[in-house]
A and B are shown apart, each in its own frame.
Chain A
Amino acid sequence: MLQTSSNQLPVTASGLEKFVETSQGRLVILQQINLEVASGEALAILGASGSGKSTLLGLLAGLDNASAGEVRLFGTSLSGLDEDGRAALRAGQIGFVFQSFQLLSGMTALENVMLPLELAGHKAPEQAAREALSQAGLAQRLTHYPTQLSGGEQQRVALARAFAPSPKVLFADEPTANLDAHTGEKVAELLFNLQEQNNTVLVLVTHDETLAQRCDRRLYLRDGCLESEA
């Protein structure tokens, strides 16, 4: 199921590096990252705080420029694209879930979910958003603003938003870190259910071993390098 040729892989990274120049010299955050994620796969990237997990996620999603190496999304190299090109590649195909939910406070739950659908030019964004929220168990919370929702509910809205446009790849950054164990468990349940239903590639960065266990594969980030075993 996971076997596919490299030029059709949803996400690949080769020789990926990220460093910043500081007054104390070069600070290396990531070095020689090589990675392939196959269709439908759920990959967990584990690491301690400050290990560069979020930086790697940003590079894989084309939100940041690598210092060296290459990222390919659906076979297209990101290094050949400018920011707008990368945004166009993301539109409708890539979803995100963040540790801090990143819901727009001025919008209701429904409006937040409608946003990526509208950006992707969906024909009936409201209907699709309603369905997504309903799937997330929030049919009664459509017109609530983020501040009127609990943390767990906010993350469920974020999940509904991420899955509503049926993305091919979902990048999740510590999706349960801001939640208590019980709520975190419920959110994780929803995340993996939706991933399975949609056959979405999931790239999950976390420091939570239990959450990572639910993924097909786990990689560890230590000292800027990616390792396959703990």
Chain B
Amino acid sequence: MNPFYLALRLLRRDWRAGELRLLTSALVIAVASVTSVGFFTDRIERAMARQATEVLAADLHIESNRPIEETLSLEAKRRQLKLATTVSFPSVILSHDKTQLVQVKAVSEGYPLRGQVEVRDQINQQSHVTNALPKAGEAWLEERLLPLLGLNIGDTFKLGKSRLKVTRIITYEPDRSANLFQLAPRVMIHHTELAATGLLGPASRARYYLLLAGIASQISSYSSWVALQDIQGIQVQDIRSARPEVRSALDQGGRFLRLAAATAILLCVVAVALSSQRFVERQSDTSALLRCLGAQRRQVTQIFVIRLLSLGLIASVVGGLLGLAAQSILVALVGHWFTQQIPSPSAWPLLSGLATGVLVLIGFSLPAILRLAGVPPLRVFRRHLGAPPISYRFYLAAALLSLSILLVWQIGDDKLAFQLIGGLLAGLILLLLISQGLVHLLTPLRSQAAGSWRYGLASLSRNPMTTSVQLSGFGLGMTVLLILALVRIDLLANWRSTLPENSPNQFLINIQPDQVEGVRHLLEQGGITSVKLYPMMRGRLISIDGKPISTKDYPSPRAQRLATRDFNLSQASHIQADNKITAGHWWTESDWEKPWFSVEKGLAETLGIPLGASLEFEIAGQRISGRVENLRSVKWDSFNVNFFVVGTPGLMRDQPSTYITSFYLPNEKRKVLHRLIQTYPSITALDVTALMQQVRSIMDRGALAVESVFLFTLAAGLIVLYAGIQASHELRVQETAILRTLGLKRRQLIVSIALEFALLGGLAGVISATLATIIGYTLSTSVFNLPWSFNPSLWILALGGGSIGIGIAGTLASWSLFSTPPMTVLRRV
């Protein structure tokens, strides 16, 4: 006998007879949802990342305080990357005897490689996108420079040795936000104009940038190549190391999408586990007969395993193709939200879909299927003899192993994956315990109930194991659906609310101490009240615990950059409302004079600063030192003013400082800003509306993507519920036929089955609402760092939806029992 051949023949026959349809449907839908989630998230994530690269105006940039070595650009050209260069430096421009400190940016052809520049041709016109650059002899100026210097479009001014004509007002440049706090008003000129200005001497404070763009693999291989060259004095930045608020929004979006994919997997395994149980029940006769006819245990195992894996492979391919088709519809639906074309699908999600299908079968179906070889051949005489009882340890080990591989792989976040597995396990144990308890509770009720109620109750307590499995299936399916609802409604809303409409969109920096009151007064006059101004000093970290800082101690470029750059430090008596202490304690009034620091958690991790470490800073030539009293987490995407390091008032009081503030400026109150700049020309006003728009658009698109992806998970959830309903179908068939033969009216039978499913659904609803609340709380507080609130509607939805939905669905799915003549049913069994 060739087991492979026989297995395939059996598979074909089973398929024709509908034996495997539930298992296959569960697998196809599951793989389709995993694959479509995979394709879709892969493409959307890449589109989102590409959109976010606008913050750098490139996919990658190399920054140096010397002209960038030619080898770097030659290599980039050799690798066929797109490149452009920019040079940025502070200088003074002169017009009508007025001078103004500005930040000059000279850009080469090709700039920007990602994103677009927006300009205004005249002061009162709308801004528009341009692909042009300032020509030789021309300059584009930021709007606020015009009133400061009394300039108009068409006027000229002096920059170094050059006289330049103002031809446009620059309103948006994509990479501007990358160095938010070092900006004087912008003057943009063409790269070729640089030499003529004569401003780039050896002592100039220019920063040179080489911008690069290309496909992700090329960029990453180029980036690795650059790292190998060990060139001193250059910093390589990609989107991941750029602005923290954009990175944070992007990471959060990615996490939501991966969570959506994970829920699809969870549903997949529940559906497959349930339908495998049913498959084992239905195939026990085949196994017994095969053994009876002389097949050996090994052969029976081979036949079922080959059958299962072939089925898995076929279902996975079908599911994968379905996923591919589904995601293209999705992408077409949301494509217009993106400014650029969404990258085409890669083969990876298809492969991972196939692997997922096979892994799910191995973890959740194989242990059950292996039992089939153990069905005693004597079953041919004694039908009650079934497959040997399951080895729970073996089942659990296989399930946990495959689930761990699947989730860690799919989510790419160990913590989130294991939290989900932990939640699932805890839920399963809870479900099994509750369902066992329920069966015990129901048994005495049977004698007191009458008619349909008694049959309904009897059905539930008739087979405790089936009821437990069914309840677990319903419970898990509903839990995942409720988590979807939670994530979709609560978490997304909470995420969006971290950046409410009235988030600060204006920063004022470089406010001198004697201007603080004046600024506050002017703002209040303009209707901007309760603005907080924070003292800020620039300082460099000299040593940690007496050990001088050296870039050699830090392997990561981000740590090296942080170790050598000036920090913005501040002093505070009280902790900022949106900061949270993660270690140590904030200081009380009695501690204000003590030499203590509070350090942002991420910075502490990057630079290896432990709680209690002694830090030494150099601020304007003076050295101060103090102990790290606490570590804080900071919400960088809140757009509030925040500092990496904050000192006690006593420690920082005598340090030379300027002040900084951020506030929300509604459009109709913009006049106050003009007045402020005119009154205090030395203050720099920064408008971050465009950057906020960028962060918001990432959040909105992320939310839309998650919502779309959840439609698939919803479909998978429904198949799980269907599998749950089918789990008790076999037992019901014979029983209802006998009851009907004995004269039970069709209506009574329908009512009893509806009651049974409604009871099951209601119980599963309560359990799943409990579980979903616990999991939702954990996800909100420890994974997404979002506030959590109790949601009573979830309980009403779960209880009502569970009993009504499963009651109706279960009754409808059992309809064939009511409509088929009992004789036909009895002849079949």
A residues at B contact (CB < 8 Å): 54-55, 57-58, 61, 63-64, 83-84, 87-94, 96, 98, 102, 104-108, 111, 115-116, 118-121, 145, 147, 173
The reply to whether B294 and A116 form a contact with Cβ atoms under 8 Å apart is yes
Judged by a CB distance under 8 angstroms, whether B297 is at the interface is yes
The reply to whether A94 and B294 form a contact with Cβ atoms under 8 Å apart is yes
Complex Cα spacing A29 to B382, Å? 15
The reply to whether A106 and B13 form a contact with Cβ atoms under 8 Å apart is yes
The reply to whether B294 and A111 form a contact with Cβ atoms under 8 Å apart is no
The reply to whether A64 and B286 form a contact with Cβ atoms under 8 Å apart is no
Q: List 13 A-B contacts (CB under 8 A).
A: A61-B292, A63-B292, A83-B291, A87-B295, A87-B296, A88-B296, A98-B381, A102-B285, A105-B17, A111-B9, A118-B1, A118-B5, A145-B17
CB distance from B424 to the nearest CB of A (A): 33
Interface string of B349-389 (1 = CB under 8 A from A): 00000000000000000000000000011101110000000
The reply to whether A115 and B293 form a contact with Cβ atoms under 8 Å apart is yes
The reply to whether A90 and B1 form a contact with Cβ atoms under 8 Å apart is no
Complex Cα spacing A147 to B823, Å? 12
Which A-B residue pairs are the 4 nearest by beta carbons? A91-B294, A106-B17, A90-B294, A116-B293
CB distance from B596 to the nearest CB of A (A): 76
The reply to whether A92 and B380 form a contact with Cβ atoms under 8 Å apart is no
CB distance from B491 to the nearest CB of A (A): 46
The reply to whether B16 and A119 form a contact with Cβ atoms under 8 Å apart is no
Residues on B with beta carbons closer than 8 Å to the beta carbon of A118? 1, 5-6, 9
Interface string of B246-290 (1 = CB under 8 A from A): 000000000000000000000000000000000000000110011
The reply to whether A57 and B381 form a contact with Cβ atoms under 8 Å apart is yes
Judged by a CB distance under 8 angstroms, whether B298 is at the interface is yes
B19's partner among A87, A98, A106, A111 (CB-CB below 8 A) is A106
Judged by a CB distance under 8 angstroms, whether B393 is at the interface is no
The reply to whether A63 and B377 form a contact with Cβ atoms under 8 Å apart is yes
Given contacts A107-B17, A119-B290, contact A63 B381 (CB under 8 A): yes
Judged by a CB distance under 8 angstroms, whether B670 is at the interface is no
The reply to whether A147 and B828 form a contact with Cβ atoms under 8 Å apart is yes
Judged by a CB distance under 8 angstroms, whether B96 is at the interface is no
CB distance from B431 to the nearest CB of A (A): 32
Judged by a CB distance under 8 angstroms, whether B735 is at the interface is no
Judged by a CB distance under 8 angstroms, whether B14 is at the interface is yes
Report the nearest B residue to A121, measured CB to CB. B1
Given contacts A63-B378, A84-B297, A102-B380, contact A90 B828 (CB under 8 A): no
Judged by a CB distance under 8 angstroms, whether B827 is at the interface is yes
Residues on A with beta carbons closer than 8 Å to the beta carbon of B294? 87-94, 116, 119-120
Report the nearest B residue to A107, measured CB to CB. B13
Report the nearest A residue to B20, measured CB to CB. A106
The reply to whether A104 and B376 form a contact with Cβ atoms under 8 Å apart is no
Report the nearest B residue to A151, measured CB to CB. B827
B residues at A contact (CB < 8 Å): 1, 5-6, 9, 13-14, 16-17, 19, 285-286, 289-299, 376-378, 380-382, 827-828
Residues on A with beta carbons closer than 8 Å to the beta carbon of B296? 84, 87-88
The reply to whether B380 and A96 form a contact with Cβ atoms under 8 Å apart is yes
Complex Cα spacing A92 to B296, Å? 13
Residues on B with beta carbons closer than 8 Å to the beta carbon of A147? 827-828
The reply to whether B13 and A96 form a contact with Cβ atoms under 8 Å apart is no
CB distance from A41 to the nearest CB of B (A): 22
Report the nearest A residue to B18, measured CB to CB. A106
CB distance from B505 to the nearest CB of A (A): 67
Residues on A with beta carbons closer than 8 Å to the beta carbon of B378? 58, 63-64
Complex Cα spacing A119 to B378, Å? 18
The reply to whether A96 and B285 form a contact with Cβ atoms under 8 Å apart is no
Complex Cα spacing A94 to B791, Å? 66
The reply to whether B292 and A90 form a contact with Cβ atoms under 8 Å apart is yes
Residues on A with beta carbons closer than 8 Å to the beta carbon of B17? 105-107, 145
CB distance from B287 to the nearest CB of A (A): 11
- A102-B380, A119-B6 known; 20 other A-B pairs, CB under 8 Å? A58-B381, A61-B292, A63-B381, A83-B297, A87-B291, A87-B296, A88-B294, A96-B380, A98-B381, A104-B285, A104-B286, A105-B828, A107-B13, A116-B293, A116-B294, A118-B1, A118-B5, A119-B293, A120-B294, A121-B1
The reply to whether B380 and A87 form a contact with Cβ atoms under 8 Å apart is no
Residues on B with beta carbons closer than 8 Å to the beta carbon of A91? 293-295
Report the nearest A residue to B383, measured CB to CB. A100
CB distance from A206 to the nearest CB of B (A): 14
CB distance from A65 to the nearest CB of B (A): 9
A90's partner among B9, B293, B298, B382 (CB-CB below 8 A) is B293
The reply to whether B828 and A106 form a contact with Cβ atoms under 8 Å apart is no
Complex Cα spacing A92 to B827, Å? 29
Residues on B with beta carbons closer than 8 Å to the beta carbon of A92? 294
The reply to whether A104 and B827 form a contact with Cβ atoms under 8 Å apart is no
Residues on A with beta carbons closer than 8 Å to the beta carbon of B13? 106-108, 111
Complex Cα spacing A107 to B294, Å? 19
The reply to whether B298 and A84 form a contact with Cβ atoms under 8 Å apart is yes
Complex Cα spacing A121 to B294, Å? 11
Complex Cα spacing A45 to B440, Å? 45
Residues on A with beta carbons closer than 8 Å to the beta carbon of B290? 115, 119
The reply to whether A106 and B16 form a contact with Cβ atoms under 8 Å apart is yes
The reply to whether A102 and B376 form a contact with Cβ atoms under 8 Å apart is no
CB distance from A168 to the nearest CB of B (A): 12
Residues on B with beta carbons closer than 8 Å to the beta carbon of A83? 291, 297, 377
The reply to whether B14 and A106 form a contact with Cβ atoms under 8 Å apart is yes
CB distance from A17 to the nearest CB of B (A): 17
CB distance from A46 to the nearest CB of B (A): 17
B289's partner among A55, A84, A104, A145 (CB-CB below 8 A) is A104
CB distance from A4 to the nearest CB of B (A): 24
Complex Cα spacing A147 to B298, Å? 30
Complex Cα spacing A83 to B19, Å? 28
Interface centre among B5, B286, B377 (most CB of A within 10 A): B377
Complex Cα spacing A108 to B286, Å? 14
B380's partner among A63, A88, A145 (CB-CB below 8 A) is A63
Report the nearest B residue to A62, measured CB to CB. B377
Complex Cα spacing A111 to B6, Å? 11
CB distance from A174 to the nearest CB of B (A): 10
